[in-house]
Amino acid sequence: MSATIDINNVTKAYGALTVLDTISLSIEAGEFVVFLGPSGCGKSTLLRMIAGLESVDKGTISIGGERIDTLPPGKRGVAMVFQTYALYPHMTVAQNMAFGLENLKVDKAEIDRRVKAAAETLEMAHLLDRRPAKLSGGQRQRVAIGRAIVKEPKAFLFDEPLSNLDAALRSRTRLELAQLHQRLGSTMIFVTHDQVEAMTLAHRIVVMHDKKIEQIGTPMQIYQRPATRFVAEFVGSPAMSMLPILSAVGNQSADHQGALLEVEGVGAIPTSVSLPDGFRLDGAVMGIRSEDTRVVAPDEGGLALTVTVVERLGERTLLYGKLATGHDMIVEDSGRSMVRAGETVRFDFDRSALHVFDGDGLAYHVAEEA
């Protein structure tokens, strides 16, 4: 079972503090959507409003075409999985999964059917007679998910469910969640501040910041064509390097039907990025991702980078350093790089992959091919 979710002009405030300001979003039936953003951006509050754990001050929320923001949590047709497992220690796995259904007076045979089906889906039928103390962290999280599955909800809501797991287990559980969605085909909303989780799981990512939605898009749309400087710096590891733009001149020649940028520490750069007449130059920057850079030989020209930190990641090496102007820059080298901190290297970058952000933080990109 799955259903659409429509959030229309939703606002939430605690006294004089507004935490969500006129949020609108439509989620398709069966879609896996991730709310991504830093702590305090309102993503968990929005999820809790859908679940009925927080009230809606203004606006409406509908599931499957039915308005639900005035209904109690148990009548909304959603199931929530929390950061904490909240399992009853004196109950077995089967009893924990069945408890909510028993409170709803569901027939015992139906409860048994749902519990067994969920256990098979999660590949934990052999754990049904164990108590939580005998389970690993990942197994406990599976029980919490199973407890949600047996409710056969219209939508699953996940509130940072992997944050208590160690790195290896988080990676494995991420893949299990992706596979679970493929098997169930249910509508799922997942809240996280971890961009790897978002990029791995989402059909679409909703990037949230400062009470509002910054951008909605597929993982690669968010990564390759960020709508704002905030999105560009928040999504991607390492963060995008930003260099000040000193001047921007529009369509300057037949060869370059875009802006000619004068970038501090770099010089003049012809681009294929079209900028509007009202482009705000004050505070404008050019962004470059490390994978769009390369170390070059001294006789190939390029820009000088004084390396301060070398991060060796096996398949690649990241060189953190400063340009002659003192601006920070991150450059990528091969996994076999011999560069050491304190050395100066030269690098170049792909002009077609640069990003332009005006003084208000809005992004401008090379036009997409039709």
- Evaluate whether 33 touches 188 at the Cβ level (below 8 Å): yes
Both tokens of residue 255? 């060869």
pLDDT digits (tens, 9 = 90+) for 354-366: 999 999 999 998 7
Both tokens of residue 108? 């015992």
Both tokens of residue 368? 């997409």
Number of other residues whose CB lies within 10 A of the CB of residue 311? 11
Say what percent of the chain tops pLDDT 90.
Answer: 66
Q: How high is the pLDDT of residue 330?
A: 97
pLDDT digits (tens, 9 = 90+) for 72-116: 998 899 999 887 878 899 999 999 999 988 888 889 999 999 999
- When the pLDDT of each residue in the chain is averaged and rounded to a whole number, the result is 91
Q: How confident is the model at residue 370 (pLDDT cuts 50, 70, 90)?
A: very low
Q: How high is the pLDDT of residue 258?
A: 82
Q: Which domains does the chain have, with CATH numbers?
A: 5-226 (3.40.50.300), 238-364 (2.40.50.140)
* H-state helical runs in the chain: 43-51, 93-103, 108-121, 137-149, 167-184, 195-201, 219-224, 229-234
Nearest to 347 by CA among 365, 329, 369, 363: 329
pLDDT digits (tens, 9 = 90+) for 222-279: 999 999 999 999 999 999 999 999 998 875 445 556 889 999 989 998 888 888 888 9
